[in-house]
Chain A
Amino acid sequence: MADVTGLHVLGPSRDRGGVISFVMGAAHPHDLTTFADQYGLALRGGHHCNQPLMRRFGVPGTSRASFYLYSTREEIDRMVDILDKAVRFFK
């Protein structure tokens, strides 16, 4: 995900859980989640009931992908492809 140009992953790059929040400069989180949804990718978008933190970081909200034991490498690769498409779509 860190390799997708135009995508900014929030939080530490190592030693973290399976919940990854990120922002895309070209697209508001809700536009990005609508886009992803059409490709069958379920992201959560918005301020996650945490407006003060969003204000603190100066972002309108974030998009969030969640992984668990059943998530596969193929699914993650597909997600990265879709995020890459989104950057080009909204640029």
Chain B
Amino acid sequence: MNLELGDLEELYQDVILDHSRRPRNFGELSDAAVRVHGDNPACGDEIHLAVKFDGNGGLEEIKFTGHGCAISQASASLMTTKLKGKSRDEVEEMLGAFHDLVTSENNDAPKKLGDLRAMRGVRKFPQRVKCAMLPWRAVEQALRQTEGEATVSTEEPEFA
């Protein structure tokens, strides 16, 4: 039996378990401009993301509710702490960097990702990449529209 327990410790780092148990920016945003529902029907993960833009289209406020596995909930919590107050360009840059972090074997986890680097263990678990990416695909969709509601699903062919 080949026990890769290091992978497990790397996936479920303390910061991940902490964010999944005590998610930050968790709650409703009554004056949200856009609400995006992220759905992972295969797993049952759900993220309801609400954002408010500043005058330049940046993320003035970002909150979420939802339920699911530790990876999806910690990813959403870590994401909101990182993206709050960021400009549109910064959000897109961070999205690309995060996707690379959780999918690329040779990623050196750039410093600019901060606490998000704790998610790098996901790359060893391909079936969990969708859990980690769900809140990020939701925020990507939120940037595409300036108001209203939308749904993103992990079952869409272009997901992950």
Contact = CB atoms under 8 A, between A and B. Distances in A.
Q: Do the two shown chains form a genuine complex with each other? A: yes
B128 interface: yes
B69 A30 contact: yes
B8 A31 contact: no
A28 B69 contact: yes
A90 B17 contact: yes
Interface string A27-66: 1111100110011100000110001001000001100000
A51 to B, nearest CB: 7
Interface size grouping (class) on chain A: 10 to 19
A89 interface: yes
Contacts of A29: 69
Contacts of A51: 44
B85 interface: no
B15 interface: no
Contacts of B11: 34
Identify the interface centre among B7, B12, B17, B69: most chain A CB within 10 Å of its CB: B69
A58 B125 CA distance: 28
A60 B71 contact: no
B70 interface: yes
A39 B1 CA distance: 8
A61 B11 CA distance: 21
Contacts of B3: 38-40
A37 B17 CA distance: 19
Nearest to B71: A31
B32 to A, nearest CB: 25
A39 B8 CA distance: 10
B4 A30 contact: no
Interface string B115-144: 000000000010110010000000000000
Given A46-B44, A89-B12, A90-B17, A31 B70 contact: yes
A51 B4 CA distance: 32
9 nearest A-B pairs in the assembled complex, by CB-CB distance: A28-B69, A30-B69, A38-B8, A40-B1, A31-B70, A31-B69, A61-B44, A47-B44, A60-B44
Interface of A: 27-31, 34-35, 38-40, 46-47, 51, 54, 60-61, 89-90
Given A27-B70, A54-B44, 4 more contacts: A28-B70, A30-B131, A60-B67, A89-B8
